[in-house]
Amino acid sequence: MSEFRSHRFHIIIDAWNCNPAGLGDKPALEKVIKEIAKICEMRILHGPVVVEGVPENPGLTGFAIIDYSHISIHTFTESQELCVDVFSCKQFDINKVKDFVKNAFSLEGSNTKTIEVKHA
């Protein structure tokens, strides 16, 4: 079995008290997704696609398919919350992604879950 198929890497960031200015800005969210792909040293195959939420759940959802999996970001403008998910079959620097997201959205509070799955 090749090294490529042996591991899965996943970071999930759940944040609150985010800077509200960036949570509803489509072009800014597209730039954030592109920068995360660069940090992970992965090529975007499709996207980023950013869409607005419904009036009763305002915010944005951004998504990009990358050469090893995906990047998704959900923003919630009323509650000033943010969810970021990066999943890959190629290892990437999780701390760089986490630090970038914290700076990009001026996070005051967040929980981060990282998962590495190794297959025998």
The residues assigned a catalytic role are 69, 74, 89
CA-nearest of 119, 110, 63, 69 to 92 is 69
Contact 15, 82 (CB under 8 A): yes
Residue (of 6, 50, 59) closest to 32 by Cα position: 50
Phi and psi, residue 26, nearest 5°? -60, -50
